[in-house]
Amino acid sequence: MDILITGTVLGGTYALIALGLTLQYGVARIMNLANGENLVLACFCAFWLYTAASINPVIGIAIIAPAAFLLNWLIYVYAMKPLVDRAKNRGQLEVDSILATFGLMFIMQGVMLLVFGGSYFSYNFLSEPVRILGANYGLNRIVALGAAVVIAAGLYLFLYRTRYGTAIRAVSVSPSSASLVAINVPRASAFAFALGGALTAAGGALLSTFYTFNSSMGVIFTMKALIIVIMGGVGDVRGAVLAALLLGLAETAVASLIDPGLTLAATYTLFIIVLLIRPQGIFGRQTA
Amino acid sequence: MERRTLIKTFAASLLAGAVLAGPALAEGTITIGASAPKTGPLAGGSAVTYWPAIQLWVHDVNERGGIDVGGEKMKVELIEYDDRTSNEEAIKNIQRLATVDKVDFIIPPYGTGINLATAPLIAKYGYPHIAVTAVTDGVDEFAARWPNSFWTLGTSEGMATSLVDVMKKMKDAGQINEKVAVVNVADAFGIELANAGKPAFEEAGFDIVYETSYPLQQQDFAPIISSAMNAGPDSFVAFSYPADTFGLTKQAAIAEMPVKVFYTGVATAFPAFAGANGAAANGVMGVGGVNASTEAYQDFAKRQEEVTGVAPDFWASPVQYASLEALEQAITAAGSIDKAAVIEALKSGTFDTIMGEWKFDNNVIRSFWTVGQWQDGAFQGIASKGAGGEAEPIVKSGWK
């Protein structure tokens, strides 16, 4: 029972890390390797808002997410759009965007190092225990899990129940056909990329309430997000959430029952098994 | 055409000026290279313990006019490289410092593993290697293998057995029971301390009810804390590195882990530890410690914060500074910046440092702090090997 709850909470955290990348990679087709840096930047912003202006991180999201939306929109328009325009096919865009965001990753990391230094940061927010079924859990983690559920549900409703959401899904299936039915593909892509960035930032703000972070740890988050996105099926919100939960449960079970040193091994074993059985990811479509 | 020639002449004269001015400027300076993490898993640790102490020392030396070398005052110039917490990168940096920058001295890297990885190279180029942030049992073996190396922070055996001694006293006094959980980070420091600590615990009559290790970049500690709690120990001991020290403590506070001794490794002695944990920090034991009430430490702490903006830790920061004081005094004693002469001066000299009087015994400082504990906002040394001025340990009572 303990394992189930801890695992679900951890899964919620992972979902927060990965949802943004699902959109960025699935719709805008940009494999954003700077995803983790984006997240850590949001951690710093939340930290700064909380310590300097004593703004509650959950409310801080209202500032951080729009700012991240704007920043990612600009990144897409000025840095990614030229790559999209010159790419002859999806494969080329993938390679180009990986290289470009790899560079972006170092830039963001360098700027954060310059501004914040290499030290660890953390602060106390809602780090009080809640009792669930006889064991204590951090309130901030439960809040993050709740937020993950809200964000995932909101994203699902937006993508599957609204007109613009349907348009975005159309772009993710086939950009060329989408433009035939009067969907402004570049705009939809930019929107998806920016929304993905905003989601990642919101996740970062929530994560900062219970993670100890420093300027150079973005890559850990990027790796986790990549695994979840690919495991869940590129561009599929349901898949990403399910994969995140699976990963959280598997890691917690292995850490509690076998050895904490094997969590990484468990992650990759699960990854390989899923890829062997369903190479397109849990909810992925066969690529044409 | 004429303009181009003009520019060329101008450029050439600039270049000539630079070449001429170069050696003239460099003559009165000692260049010192430092390579340590500015990024990667250990960057958080070195940003507290390593870099600020070095910057303060360079500032201090230059402020008083430089190091006295045979009657001439020579200023210090520092070259900093980032090793990205990677042994390979650190080795490249040392190579570069020795062969490209041709520095006069090298301040050895941060962390036990990287210190050992770079030791052969530093020895090959003949630099004195005054290791600070390296806790290992091999000090005598290494000092014999690399006669240029000096070890200042103590041995893992000393750290671990000293902790066991403290806890045994508490057990004999009836303050804690014999059940203990021992976890460690799977890196040189954690492995060595666990290897030294576990047999010592058993010998002292403790029963290790839970033990495990976890990788360097672990982020989630809920499973470890809850498994340890299920085993019902009175004492929890983690030989941890900075990020996991914070993670484990936070998780234990949330779970309200009912232990009477809670011990974590590197970073427990960081000022940020008290900041991050508030009242929950009180009673937490950790590796290191210092006699925080001495005038020398308080003066050092105040000045480091003024000069670098970073408060020092309660363990290795003052030792890092002291190691540079020893280097400076050895250079003055040798009367030259000849590396071999400075190594000889280090071996035989007595140095007046903020950690008290230092004299290397076969290249090793034998008195060092081993265990500290947060007591009313300060991390007090509660056990040491001959450092003196220990405070009494207290029983941890709750996390509020």
| Yes or no, beta carbons of B220 and A113 under 8 Å apart | no
Residues B160 and B132 in one domain: no
- Banded model confidence at residue B94, pLDDT cuts 50, 70, 90: very high
Is the pLDDT confidence value at A24 over 70? yes
Convert the pLDDT of each residue in A218-229 to its tens digit. Answer: 888 898 898 898
List, as ranges, residues 6-65 from B with C-beta within 8 Å of A: 37-41, 43-44, 46-48
CA distance B48 to chain A (A): 7
CA distance B40 to chain A (A): 6
Question: What's the angle, vertex CA A206, arms to CA B213 and CA B222, rounded to 5?
Answer: 25
Express as a percent the part of chain B with pLDDT over 90: 66
Is the pLDDT confidence value at B27 over 70? no
- Banded model confidence at residue A185, pLDDT cuts 50, 70, 90: confident
Does residue B164 lie in a domain region?
Answer: yes
Give CA separation, B169 vs A16, B258, B382, in Å.
47, 20, 12
Residues B29 and B102 in one domain: yes
Label each residue of chain A as H, E or C.
CHHHHHHHHHHHHHHHHHHHHHHHHHCCCCCCCCHHHHHHHHHHHHHHHHHHHCCCHHHHHHHHHHHHHHHHHHHHHHHHHHHHHHCCCHHHHHHHHHHHHHHHHHHHHHHHHHHHCCCCECCCCCCCEEEECCEEEEHHHHHHHHHHHHHHHHHHHHHHHCHHHHHHHHHHHCHHHHHHCCCCHHHHHHHHHHHHHHHHHHHHHHHCCCCCECCCCHHHHHHHHHHHHHHHCCCCHHHHHHHHHHHHHHHHHHHHHCCHHHHHHHHHHHHHHHHHHCCCCCCCCCCC
Does residue B399 lie in a domain region?
Answer: no
| Yes or no, beta carbons of A117 and B47 under 8 Å apart | yes
- Segment B43-62 shows an average pLDDT of 93
> In this complex, is the C-beta atom of A263 within 8 Å of any C-beta atom belonging to chain B?
yes
Q: What's the domain count of chain B?
A: 2
Q: Check residue B389 and give its pLDDT.
A: 82
Residues B280 and B301 in one domain: no
Q: Check residue B342 and give its pLDDT.
A: 95
CA distance B309 to chain A (A): 12
Q: Terminus-to-terminus CA distance in chain B, angstroms?
A: 80
Residues B116 and B195 in one domain: no
How many angstroms separate the CA atoms of A127 and B202, rounded? 35
CA distance A271 to chain B (A): 19
> In this complex, is the C-beta atom of A102 within 8 Å of any C-beta atom belonging to chain B?
no
Long-range contacts of A62-68 (CB under 8 A, 24+ apart): A64/A201, A64/A202, A64/A204, A64/A205, A65/A198, A65/A199, A65/A201, A65/A202, A65/A205, A66/A198, A67/A201, A68/A38, A68/A41, A68/A42, A68/A197, A68/A198, A68/A200, A68/A201, A68/A202
Q: Check residue B18 and give its pLDDT.
A: 45
What tokens appear for B399 in the block?
């996390």
Query: pTM value?
Result: 0.77
Q: Is A40 exposed, middle or buried (0-12, 13-18, 19+ CB in 10 A)?
A: buried
**H helix intervals, B146-259:** 156-172, 188-203, 222-230, 242-254
Pairing mode of beta strands A135-138, B129-131: unpaired
C-beta neighbour count of B80 within 10 angstroms: 15
How many angstroms separate the CA atoms of B237 and B199, rounded? 14
Contacts of B183 in chain A (CB under 8 A): 260
Q: What DSSP element (H or E) covers B90?
A: helix B87-99
Is the pLDDT confidence value at B344 over 90? yes
Residues B251 and B145 in one domain: no
Residues B122 and B183 in one domain: no
- Segment A220-247 shows an average pLDDT of 87
B252 in helix, strand or coil? helix
Residues B277 and B349 in one domain: no
Convert the pLDDT of each residue in B202-240 to its tens digit. Answer: 999 999 999 998 887 777 888 899 889 989 999 999 999
| Yes or no, beta carbons of B253 and A127 under 8 Å apart | yes
Q: Is the CB of residue A58 less than 8 Å from the CB of residue A204? A: no
CA distance B4 to chain A (A): 38
Name the DSSP class of B241.
Answer: -
Contacts of A118 in chain B (CB under 8 A): 37-39, 43-44, 46-47
Residues B279 and B218 in one domain: yes
> In this complex, is the C-beta atom of B394 within 8 Å of any C-beta atom belonging to chain A?
no
Does residue B394 lie in a domain region?
Answer: no
Just give the CATH number of A2-277. Answer: 1.10.3470
Is the pLDDT confidence value at A12 over 60? yes
What lies within 8 Å, CB to CB, of B125 at 6+ separation is B94, B98
Q: pLDDT: is B123 or A265 the higher one?
A: B123
Q: Check residue B1 and give its pLDDT.
A: 45
How many angstroms separate the CA atoms of A8 and A248, rounded? 6
Convert the pLDDT of each residue in B175-193 to its tens digit. Answer: 999 999 999 998 878 998 9
How many angstroms separate the CA atoms of B161 and B128, rounded? 30
Q: HSE of A239 in the Cβ direction (CA atoms, 13 Å)?
A: 24
How many angstroms separate the CA atoms of B179 and B228, rounded? 11
Amino acid of residue B10: F
> In this complex, is the C-beta atom of B398 within 8 Å of any C-beta atom belonging to chain A?
no
Mean pLDDT is highest, among A132-136, A251-255, B319-323, for: B319-323
> In this complex, is the C-beta atom of A261 within 8 Å of any C-beta atom belonging to chain B?
yes
Is the pLDDT confidence value at B315 over 80? yes
Residues B340 and B377 in one domain: no
Here the CATH number for the domain that contains residue B338 is 3.40.50.2300
Residues of the domain holding B242: 156-290+370-385
Convert the pLDDT of each residue in A27-57 to its tens digit. Answer: 888 888 988 999 999 999 988 888 888 888 8
Q: Is the CB of residue B130 less than 8 Å from the CB of residue B328? A: no
Q: Check residue A145 and give its pLDDT.
A: 87
Q: Check residue A287 and give its pLDDT.
A: 53
Is the pLDDT confidence value at A285 over 70? no
Give CA separation, A156 vs A4, A72, A148, A236, A240, in Å.
24, 21, 12, 9, 11
Q: Is the CB of residue A45 less than 8 Å from the CB of residue A60? A: yes
How many angstroms separate the CA atoms of A287 and A172, rounded? 12
Q: Check residue B20 and give its pLDDT.
A: 44
- Rounded to 5 degrees, φ, ψ at B270 are -80, 145
Mean pLDDT is highest, among A96-105, A243-252, B209-218, B319-328, for: B319-328
Residues B75 and B150 in one domain: yes
Q: Check residue A25 and give its pLDDT.
A: 86
Q: Check residue B130 and give its pLDDT.
A: 96
Q: Check residue B26 and give its pLDDT.
A: 46
Residues B43 and B84 in one domain: yes
| Yes or no, beta carbons of B246 and A127 under 8 Å apart | no
Cβ density class B144-177: b for 16+ within 10 Å, e for less: eebebbbbbbbbbbbbbbbbbebbbebbeeeebe
Of A216, A251, A261, the CB nearest to B43: A216
Of B323, B394, B376, B368, nearest to B110 (Cα)?
Answer: B323
Express as a percent the part of chain B with pLDDT over 70: 93
Q: Check residue B4 and give its pLDDT.
A: 56
Convert the pLDDT of each residue in A76-129 to its tens digit. Answer: 888 888 888 888 887 888 888 889 999 999 999 889 888 887 777 777 777 677
Q: Check residue A286 and give its pLDDT.
A: 57
Pairing mode of beta strands B179-185, B235-239: parallel
Long-range contacts of A54-61 (CB under 8 A, 24+ apart): A56/A125, A57/A125, A57/A205, A57/A206, A57/A208, A57/A209, A58/A143, A58/A147, A58/A205, A58/A206, A60/A205, A61/A201, A61/A202, A61/A205, A61/A206
How many angstroms separate the CA atoms of A200 and B45, rounded? 27
- Banded model confidence at residue A180, pLDDT cuts 50, 70, 90: confident
- Banded model confidence at residue B3, pLDDT cuts 50, 70, 90: low
Pairing mode of beta strands B67-69, B72-82: antiparallel
What lies within 8 Å, CB to CB, of A141 at 6+ separation is A9, A12, A13, A210
Contacts of B398 in chain A (CB under 8 A): none
Q: Check residue B66 and give its pLDDT.
A: 94
Q: For residue B236, what are the β-bridge partners? A: B181, B262
The number of C-beta contacts closer than 8 angstroms across A and B is 107
Q: Check residue B223 and give its pLDDT.
A: 86
Enumerate the domain spans of chain A.
Answer: 2-277
CA distance A89 to chain B (A): 36
B25 in helix, strand or coil? helix
Contacts of B43 in chain A (CB under 8 A): 118-119, 214-216
B353 in helix, strand or coil? strand
How many angstroms separate the CA atoms of B52 and B309, rounded? 8
Give CA separation, B204 vs A237, A253, B158, B164, B393, in Å.
55, 33, 15, 7, 18
Q: Check residue B36 and give its pLDDT.
A: 94
| Yes or no, beta carbons of A135 and B222 under 8 Å apart | no
Residues B360 and B219 in one domain: no
Average pLDDT, chain A: 85
How many angstroms separate the CA atoms of A80 and A96, rounded? 9
Of A38, A95, A119, A156, nearest to B309 (Cα)?
Answer: A119
